[in-house]
Structure 1
Amino acid sequence: MMKPKALVLPRESMLKQVCSEECKQLIESAFNPVWNDKGCDLTEEELSELVEDAEIILTSWGSPILTDAMLEKAVKLRAIGHAAGTVKKRMPREVFDKGVRVYSAANRIAQSVGEHCLAVLLTIMKRLPAFNAEIRQHNWKATGQKGRELAGSTVGIVSASSTARAFLKLLAPFKVNVLLYDPYLSEEAADKLHVRRASLEEVMSCPVISIHAPALPATEQMITRDLIALIPDGAYLVNSSRGAVFDEEALIEELGTGRFAAALDVFVKEPIRQDHPFLQMSNVLLTPHIAGASIEGHLALMYAVVQDMLAGFAGQPTSYEVTERMWETMA
């Protein structure tokens, strides 16, 4: 039997980051691949010619956008695998009308984000940046302050997204009590996650808070000034979702008081401007939107979607497939 033609669109520099040697071998064995060896992105005209007899298209960051016109020509197309996060801006929703199956590595990236959230949370709870700064100034236990323990804490989580679920798995050994706000989460699903459904007000009143909301019109500035004011003194806040979910001006004002600590990976405007108030706050740990970036995580992305795609073709359950029903609530 002839193997299906697969277009592997990422340029070589990106492919090295998201496709391991094991993944390349899997692609070669399962498909008849056409690799993008140009060293740059294919033009729309070049891609339009190639898609006509393609059954599989594999993409990642920087790959060409798949337009309606291209998909009209791709009469044999069975599946698209995106070795990156959201697929919403990579292709039109109408792809589902053509019976094309869509796969995204977002859930694999979520594993890296979960690790990041746990790492930065423990970092600010244990006051590691402050202790590091003190000892470099030859101040040995100068302040007499102590860190806090995560074990047994009450943790508030906003959104039951894939990153939140990855974070929850890592929190399990700490035996925390989790309150979770997500309007789409059923009681049954909450029970399976071992969390209690709660209002946004309850979650923002927790001593530990982690934000995992997707970037949607409905989530823009959903954490209002009034909600930020509910954050308790001495609390710890982690945001690895999007800066725009907060009223950032209100967040700047509250963090400026020093009454709680935060670990922020995302901001309304990125890169963060050089005079941003966050840069002057010792109670804020800053990272440059890298929560999902890890060497091992990125290298596993294409393998994850290809393996899942093959499972789908074989009639087996999938873990990375994106359905039309998921479209409205995903980032």
Structure 2
Amino acid sequence: MLTAAAGGPLQAVEFTCAPLDDAQPRSLALTYTFDAAEDGDPYPVHLVLEGRRVPDPGTAPTTVDRFTSSASVAEVHPTSGRVSVTTRVKNIPAGTWEVTARPDPAQDNDPRVRSLPAGSATARTGFEPAMRSKAPGVRIGAWPTMVTLGAIAGVTLQLALARRAGLDVTAVLVVSLLACILGVVGAKVYAYFTEARATRNILTAGMCIQGFVLAAVATIVLGARTASIPLGELLDISVPGLLTGMAIGRLGCLLGGCCAGRPTASRWGIWATDRTLGTRRLPVQPVESVMAALLAVATLSVLLAVDTPGRGGVFLSGLAAYTFGRQLLFPLRSIKRRTSFGRPVVAVLTVIVFVLGVVLTVF
């Protein structure tokens, strides 16, 4: 929910949930919204936010009843339309705050920035982990919902292919459910260890698709051996469902504000947010979703049209093609990669694996 002074550019992002009304820690989340300039070069915007706590009846004064914070956008692209900047203020007393926001006169000499209006809003603190996830354009619960729907669709498709192949459907279902559960754990652990050491927290760490795939595939391999299911066949019938799940889940990333593309002024861009900056961005999540869906159709078509030897070749080629496509999309994301050589190495390896998969499928 967004609240703001009538017609003002500053909005207070609020989170309402009775069981968490007194939960700690608390924070404020505020969004300043403006329209990008219509001409000129890309330009930065720096904002100053000042807050004053409004004493609640019966609440004792505290030593921290004011704060000053800042927010900035490194590069606003002219003609990109509406821009929203969300700032979260932590380590302040719970309660109601009156906040003002304005361009920082000490840093912005550009007349396009100086003309931005000041804004004010009244906001209440909320449970910090929840406030961290809320921003304009973010649909709370969209990511887990879409991932769950993707998992259901993927497992359903896998079981249909298992029945067609004459495999033990019950055993395949058990292995797949374990793969989904352990895949979520793997995604969480992978994200935890790839975060900066200073911000690592297993409770607040996100999830990474690489960790899910690694843990899920390892579970399928071990499960196939334990349940006496032909490993190659199980892998082959799993890949269309896995890609289907990724296609649906990536839409949850778009709605949830993660894995966002770089800001752009291109007409091919879409308005999206990374939970801090809402602006026109390269449509990375929808493109990856379409790519996964096309590969799901391609691998399913191969399994239905070709009498494959069941050595796991379809699985290897499908997953390799998806991984290769991700390497092409990574530079379009707003988050910079940590290494300059990782993508080319992975791209070469995926081409080799793809060729190996084709050989195992055809010969």
Question: If each structure's strand is expressed as a fraction of its own residues, which one has the higher value?
Answer: 2
TM-score (norm 2): 0.27
TM-score (norm 1): 0.29
Higher relative contact order (CA 8 A, sep 6+): 1
Flag the structure with larger Rg: 2
